[in-house]
């Protein structure tokens, strides 16, 4: 039986394949692709994070699943991939934010925090006896100047800043929606609706307010908050009604 070409090169994180690939990192990316869909958008009034928690059984309490986390007063993070890995990174991010408060007497910058997390993730691609984190984070917040920022952290430690992006299973569908409809001058209200519309497209009909989380950081007060269930119910009903009316019109 002939072994696959990558066999032998995917046994340890420290071994490159002949074509310069680290297979363990690519496998970690696959774990992210199989995760729930998470979305981040910039608006003129701040940033929005949205996650579909993908509840697979009615016996599960949706509130027990947390996919959007507060890192600092002005920063939140949305995750996709291995939940336990994400929680470990969130805990580290919170420590980094508090260390910055103690050391410098000021809130940590969104980009500074994202780079620290990516530096940590990169070390787990370089040493034997460890594996890469099987999760991606969308780190979003507002800097001191009031500028909204959104960064995507890759399992390899790569860092990219976006105006609007998605991670997880529905990424390609979400990005198609954003390519067509996202505008840089979008308001917070419209950003929430566009994000929910993208989630609706990615969810393929399985769309329920109880399985969705939405976090926002406004530029004026620089405070991270999550939308309460009543507000979220109203938004989701509006999106569902809108999508249904579009379908009826097309028919």
The answer as to whether 23 is a domain residue is no
Q: What is the pTM of this model?
A: 0.91
> Is 135 a residue of the active site?
no
Query: Is 101 contained in some domain?
Result: yes
Q: Is residue 5 part of a domain?
A: no
Number of domains making up the chain: 1
Q: Report the pLDDT value the prediction gives residue 49, as an integer from 0 to 100.
A: 98
Which tens digits make up the pLDDT trace of 45-100?
A: 999 999 998 777 888 888 888 999 999 999 999 999 999 999 999 999 999 999 99
Percentages (nearest 5) of helix, strand, coil residues in the chain: 40, 20, 35
Please report whether residue 132 resides in a domain. Answer: yes
For residue 12, tell me if it sits in a domain.
no
Domain interval for residue 119 = 36-54+63-245
202: domain CATH number?
Answer: 3.60.20.10
Is 97 part of a structural domain of the chain? yes
All residue ranges of the chain with pLDDT < 50 are 1-3
Query: Is 18 part of any domain?
Result: no
Sheet harboring 224-226: ordered strands across? Answer: 164-167, 38-43, 46-52, 212-218, 224-226
Task: Give CA–CA dist 202/173, Å, rounded.
Answer: 6
Domain membership flag for residue 17? no
Please identify which residue in the block is written with the tokens 């939405």.
Answer: 214
Residue 95: its pLDDT value, please? Answer: 98
> Which of 36, 79, 153, 165 is the catalytic position?
36
Residue 115 burial by Cβ neighbours in a 10 Å radius (0-12, 13-18, 19+): middle
């Amino acid at each position: 039986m002939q072994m696959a070409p990558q066999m032998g090169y995917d046994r340890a994180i420290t071994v490159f394949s002949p074509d310069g690939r680290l297979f363990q990192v690519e496998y970690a990316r696959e774990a992210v692709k199989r995760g729930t869909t998470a979305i981040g958008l910039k608006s003129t009034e701040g940033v929005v994070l949205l996650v579909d928690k993908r509840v697979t059984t009615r016996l599960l309490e949706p509130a027990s699943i947390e996919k959007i986390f507060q890192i600092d007063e002005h920063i939140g993070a949305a995750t996709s991939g291995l939940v336990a890995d994400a929680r470990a990174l969130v805990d580290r991010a919170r420590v980094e934010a508090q260390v910055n408060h103690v050391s410098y007497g000021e809130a940590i910058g969104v980009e500074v925090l994202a780079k620290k997390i990516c530096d940590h993730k990169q070390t787990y691609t370089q040493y034997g006896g460890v594996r890469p984190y099987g999760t991606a984070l969308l780190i979003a917040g507002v800097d001191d100047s009031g500028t909204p920022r959104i960064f995507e952290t890759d399992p390899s430690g790569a860092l990219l800043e976006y105006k609007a992006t998605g991670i997880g299973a529905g990424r390609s569908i979400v990005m198609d929606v954003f390519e067509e409809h996202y505008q840089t001058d979008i308001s917070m209200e419209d950003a929430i609706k566009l994000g929910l519309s993208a989630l609706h497209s990615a969810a393929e009909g399985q769309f329920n307010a109880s399985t969705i989380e939405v976090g926002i950081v406004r530029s004026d007060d620089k405070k991270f908050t999550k939308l309460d269930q009543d507000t979220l119910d109203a938004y989701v009903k509006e999106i569902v009604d809108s999508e249904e009316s579009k379908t009826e019109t097309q028919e």
